[in-house]
Amino acid sequence: MKVVLFCGGFGLRMREGQGSAPKPMSMIGDRPLLWHVMRYYAHFGHNDFILCLGYGANVVKDYFLRYDETLSNDFTLANGGRDLRLHSTDIADWKITFIDTGLTATIGERLMRVQSQLDGETTFLANYADTLTNAPLPALIERFERSDATVSVLAVPPDSTHHVMDIRPEGTVTAVRELREGQWENGGYFIMRPGVFDTLRAGEDLVPQAFHRLIERRALLAQPYEGFWRAADTFKDRAELEDMFQRGNCPWMLWDPLRNGGQPLPGGRRLT
């Protein structure tokens, strides 16, 4: 399946310490967030990517045009450095289409602008370029394909330590609850059928406007997941992910058993 990734946001909350690089190009270890997201999909055999570019498009293009396989793969160097043999590769079998979708376009508008790249596709994947997970993608796709839904979205518990209060009109508090009790957050990792384009409008966004139309049609499928999921929305988020990488605690790196800890997926299958 083709994978559409939204890479064009300004990422203002991520700017501290990152210069002018777009948020998806913030580094986790020796690779940017965008690469980690793409590597997740490639792990499951989905390596035909469409990048919806906007702010910092030149940074994304330049990164892949100058891609260095030796940073994340073992290799043998011989003949005074003139011969290099990679033991494995990251992107040799990837196809990446770079599409400029504008500086200020919404996610919905970016998706509309790559519709022609998806001609003939009965199902495709889409996602933000800055959220990491170890969700079992084949199982998500299988459930979606058994449904009549137009769009599937990964539903995750809210990522907050705050509490919410139930309050009567006069101000009396009737309950204090953890935010995640009975509530779910949009976690991205969308699976879509072409019918999604019938719900998109210029000047609107995928969430909430297009989602509202899908809900009216009973065509939006939520797939709850309580395993590892992390959005890198702020500099603090990125710092925490960097710390996890340096400690070798990277549940999202399904392709690397030395770093993902071999944690089991739901159903008992291990992340190897």
Question: 186-209, pLDDT tens digit by residue?
Answer: 999 999 999 999 999 999 999 999
* pTM, 2 dp: 0.87
What share of the chain in percent tops pLDDT 90?
A: 67
Give mean pLDDT, residues 115-134.
96
- Contact (Cβ atoms closer than 8 angstroms) between residue 175 and residue 168: no
Name the residue with higher pLDDT: 105 or 174: 105
**Which residues, including other chains, have CB under 8 Å from residue 170's CB and lie 6 or more apart?**
none
Per-chain mean pLDDT for the chain: 88
Domain boundaries, the chain: 2-156+184-260
Q: What pLDDT sits at residue 110?
A: 97
**pLDDT tens column, 214-257:** 999 999 999 999 999 999 988 899 999 999 999 999 999 999 88
d(CA 62, CA 141): 32
Q: Terminal CA-to-CA distance of the chain, rounded, Å?
A: 22
Structure token pair of residue 271: 């992340």
Answer positive or negative: Cα dihedral of 34, 35, 41, 47.
positive
Between 267 and 253, the higher pLDDT residue: 253
163 burial type by CB count under 10 A (0-12 exposed, 13-18 middle, 19+ buried): exposed
CA-based nearest residue to 241, from 92, 249, 217: 249
Which residues, in sequence order, are CB contacts of 157 under 8 Å at separation 6+?
Answer: 180, 183, 184, 185, 226
Statement: residue 22 has pLDDT above 60: yes
Does residue 267 carry a pLDDT above 50? no
Tell me the CATH class for 2-156+184-260: alpha beta
Rounded CA gap, 60 and 99, in Å?
11
The pLDDT of residue 252 is 96
208 preceded by a cis bond (ω within 30 of 0): yes
Residue 168: pLDDT band (50, 70, 90) is: confident
Bridge pairing between strands 220-224 and 151-156: parallel
Residue 7 banded pLDDT, cuts 50, 70, 90: very high
Look up residue 16 and give its DSSP letter: T
The answer to whether 60 touches 24, Cβ cutoff 8 Å, is yes
Cα(19)–Cα(10) distance, rounded to whole angstroms? 12
The closest alpha carbon to 187, from 209, 164, 159, 213, belongs to 159
List, for residues 31-81, the tens digit of each pLDDT value. 999 999 999 999 999 999 999 999 999 999 999 999 888 887 788 988 877
What is the model's pLDDT at position 161? 60
pLDDT at 141: 98
According to DSSP, the β-strands at 48-53 and 95-100 are: parallel
Model pLDDT, residue 187: 95
CB atoms within 10 A of CB 158: 14
Neighbour tally for 13: CB within 10 Å: 13
